[in-house]
Amino acid sequence: MSDTITVYEKPTCTKCREMDRFLRDSNIDFTQVNYYLEPLSEKQLRELIKKMGIKPRELLRTSESIYRELGLGKKELTDDEIISLMVKHPDLMQRPIVERGDRAVLGRPTENVKALL
């Protein structure tokens, strides 16, 4: 497994800042990717979801206004449609996502990342 840890984040997100602090306090080297400035491709997002071992719908942020505006809670969507929407609207993704080698976890709560360390 690669030792490189990558955190996909939105820097203004409280949970993302908690992850940053946790990793720095633990003296762990990591790379940060602001997926608003460096958008994830569908391929990248598919790989992350596969590494997390979850369904795309589990990564949706249902509390976001864009979720309600698009009526996503009322629609039956395929995994492909959900992934496409998350790429187009990054606010729909739970965050932070922490990746190490062939594994990834959702960093909510922060303790989830301990499985990668």
Strands (E), 1-117: 5-9, 31-34, 97-100, 103-106
Known catalytic membership, residue 16: no
Instruction: Dig out the tokens for 94 from the structure.
Output: 């739970």
Choose the catalytic residue: 3, 6, 11, 13: 13
Q: Which of 109, 115, 99 is nearest to 44 (CA)?
A: 99
Please give the positions annotated as active site.
13
